[in-house]
Chain A
């Protein structure tokens, strides 16, 4: 237990308050092989938002490997293929996918294929290549492969799918931490963070924790207003423009 208490002390020393509560419980909760928390359960998109990092930290009871997956809210996605017609590139065929995560990233303390066999990763849908995307309409196998790759590639270049697993670092045998990066174009919604403890090539424990990404402050109110009272929003937009134009003409006249 001493090692574990020292570990908890170390977390407290890192300036992380939430785990303190768990510290008091640690003797009773000794059976819990995996404890995790986030530095913040809410990512607030404010007017000055340019992306942010959320610290995920936790402790394992005994030694083991840890994999973290972060999955954004599901949405429908359309993948469009461009074709050359009369010299210009035009969108032609498309495939529609249901339930594509708007954000996906994973992290592990060492390469995933060393930690766990491929079938385990597939069963738990861990890692980009194990995500399942089901097209709405039937595609033949080669098309399915090409469209899937295009979907992943585009999401990666938009910074919304993590290209390769990020690094989880162990501070001691039990304590680990990793930074989850949310870019400026992070979609809003409820995110699911799964933390897997892997021992001997099998999943020994899973912890799930939610994370909410939402707009707050002025930008959130403007967005809400534009969608809920769109007619009024339009009228206000016009009035602002008319007043601004009038002020400009008055200012201009005085010169």
Chain B
């Protein structure tokens, strides 16, 4: 059954889009990730214009983050103060990002920048995940040693920065500039790549800010809701590329898929899951890289001039 998407202006197979949302939802339930970094490239592979894919994915991530944050909020796993500081950076970053997005689009380079961002980030994240998980798998087999936690109160240049703030929930006394910068950077990624940015923010919160892992997921989800909402709003105003019909189809599939994913994930070992996710991320990265490197079938492309 075909459905005509009002903003993307193409007709798509309704079951294929539901399936795509479901598949990514399954993976996000399985691996506990947002899935934006998979949904945007897959939409682009399917033939949805990249600009619409990115803006609509942001809209869909609002929904998946909202559904995830409640449980964390109840358990007190959200550092509100940290979330708000990250958010302040994120709002500025995503606003700048939407503006950069429109500028790159007028230059005809937006597709390239989206692809390059994906290749770089998916390559790094996927590679690290696969490497770390493979090591963990071998380590558990040899049953030798434990993961050594880094010391909480190491001193580096980070602690010399001004505007220090106390974050009670995370037990941190650090410069507000750090979470602001992290939020800004991830906000830019949200606007440019149509991702929640959890895959960048979570490691940054743990390793750069030194937050305890218990509050990391909840706080990042909290922040992602507002940043993706901001991106959805700004893209609607500036580029009119948010396709509500597409977003609804994706989130229906995603919600159902995530439930099955979470159940299925409980039966697999954590490091095996991470290794699988790493492989998946790397294969999406390679496909995008391949498209950039091989000679296109037509060296010329045509776009309406008013975009």
Residues in A lying within 8 Å of B, measured CB to CB: 45-50, 75-84, 87-91, 94, 96-97, 102, 146-147, 150-151, 153-155, 157-158, 184-185, 215, 218-220, 222-223, 226-227, 230-231, 233-238, 240-242, 244-246, 248-249, 251-253, 255
Q: In the docked arrangement, what's the CA distance between A185 and B293, Å?
A: 29
Q: A226-B236, A233-B242 are in contact. Are A238 and B70 (CB under 8 A)?
A: no
Question: Is A82 a contact partner of B300 (Cβ separation < 8 A)?
Answer: yes
Is the Cβ of A249 less than 8 Å from the Cβ of B305? no
B positions within 8 Å CB-CB of A: 2-7, 9-11, 59-60, 62-68, 70-71, 108-109, 112, 116, 225, 229, 232-237, 240, 242, 244-245, 247-248, 251-252, 255, 258-259, 292-293, 295-296, 298-306
Q: Which residues of A contact B233 (CB under 8 A)?
A: 231, 234-235, 237-238
Of the candidates A76, A87, A154, A244, the one whose C-beta lies within 8 Å of that of B298 is A154
Residue of A nearest to B306 (CB): A76
Q: Does B4 lie within 8 Å of A234, measured CB to CB?
A: no
A74 → chain B, closest Cβ, in Å?
A: 11
CB within 8 A of B109: which of A46, A75, A91, A96? A91
Q: State A230–B66 Cα separation when bound (angstroms).
A: 23
Closest Cβ of chain B to A154, distance in Å, is: 4
Given contacts A75-B304, A77-B302, A222-B6, contact A245 B62 (CB under 8 A): yes
Given contacts A87-B293, A222-B6, 14 further A-B contacts (CB under 8 A): A45-B4, A48-B3, A77-B303, A80-B108, A83-B299, A157-B298, A220-B6, A226-B242, A241-B59, A241-B66, A242-B229, A246-B70, A248-B63, A253-B71
Shortest 5 CB-CB contacts between residues of A and residues of B: A245-B66, A234-B236, A76-B305, A150-B300, A241-B62
> Once the chains bind, are B300 and A241 in contact (CB under 8 Å)?
no
Most B Cβ at <10 Å: residue of A75, A90, A157, A245 = A245
B305 touches A78 (CB 8 A): yes
A80 and B106 CA atoms in complex are apart in Å by 12
The interface residues of chain B, by DSSP majority, are classed as: helix
B245 adjacent to A48 (CB under 8 Å):
no
Contacts of A151 in B (CB 8 A): 300, 302
Q: Are A238 and B7 in contact (CB under 8 A)?
A: no
B237 engages A47 (CB within 8 Å): no
Within 8 Å CB of B242, what residues of A?
Answer: 226, 233-234, 237
**A219 surroundings in chain B (CB, below 8 A):** 4-6, 245
Q: Indicate if the CB atoms of B293 and A88 lie closer than 8 Å.
A: yes
Q: Which of B10, B108, B232, B235 contacts A185 (CB 8 A)?
A: B10
- Whether A82 lies near B301 (C-beta < 8 A) is yes
On whether the beta carbons of B7 and A226 are closer than 8 Å, the reply is yes
A-B pair count, CB < 8 Å, reads 193
Pick from B2, B6, B301: contact of A50, CB below 8 A.
B2
- A185 contacts B300, C-beta separation under 8 Å: no
Provided the pairs A94-B108, A230-B237, A238-B233 are in contact, do residues A153 and B66 lie with their beta carbons within 8 angstroms? no
25 A-B residue pairings within 8 Å (CB atoms): A46-B4, A76-B305, A76-B306, A79-B300, A79-B302, A80-B302, A88-B116, A91-B109, A91-B112, A94-B108, A146-B300, A184-B2, A222-B7, A226-B244, A231-B237, A233-B236, A234-B232, A234-B242, A237-B232, A237-B236, A240-B247, A240-B248, A241-B63, A244-B248, A249-B66
Cβ of A80 and Cβ of B244 under 8 Å apart? no
Knowing A150-B302, A233-B236, A241-B232 are in contact, say whether A223-B67 is a contact too (CB < 8 A): no
Bound-complex Cα distance A245 to B60 (A): 9
**CB contact between B300 and one of A87, A147, A226 (< 8 Å): that residue:** A147
Q: In the bound complex, what is the Cα–Cα distance between A185 and B304 (angstroms)?
A: 13
Q: How far is the CA of A101 from the CA of B303 in the complex (A)?
A: 13
The reply to whether A89 and B295 form a contact with Cβ atoms under 8 Å apart is yes
Can you name the residue of chain A whose Cβ is closest to the Cβ of B262?
A252
A83 to B64, CA, bound (A): 39
The complex places the Cα of A48 from the Cα of B14 at a distance, in Å, of 10
**In the complex, chain A residues whose CB is within 8 Å of the CB of B298:** 150, 153-154, 157
Q: Find the A residue at minimum CB distance from B252.
A: A244
Closest to A75 in B: B304
| Nearest-neighbor residue (CB-CB) of B71 within chain A | A249
| A90 to B110 Cα, complex, angstroms | 11
Contacts of B244 in A (CB 8 A): 222, 226, 233, 236-237, 240
Q: Which residues of A are found within 8 Å of B2, using beta-carbon distances?
A: 48-50, 184
| A48 and B293 form a contact (CB under 8 A) | no
Are B235 and A234 in contact, with the CB atoms below 8 A?
yes
Known: A76-B306, A80-B108, A184-B10. A154 touches B236 (CB 8 A): no
Quick check: A226 and B240 within 8 Å, CB to CB? Answer: yes
Contacts of B59 in A (CB 8 A): 237-238, 241
Contacts of A50 in B (CB 8 A): 2, 4, 11
Closest Cβ of chain B to A13, distance in Å, is 33
- In the bound assembly, the distance between CA atoms of A150 and B60 in angstroms comes to 36
Assembly CA distance A223 to B108 (angstroms): 24
B11 A223 Cβ-Cβ under 8 A = no
CB closest chain-B residue, reference A244? B63
Taking the nearest CB of chain B, how far is it from the CB of A250, in angstroms? Answer: 8
Q: With A47-B4, A249-B71 known to touch, is A241 a contact of B237 (CB < 8 Å)?
A: no
A236 to B244, CA, bound (A): 9
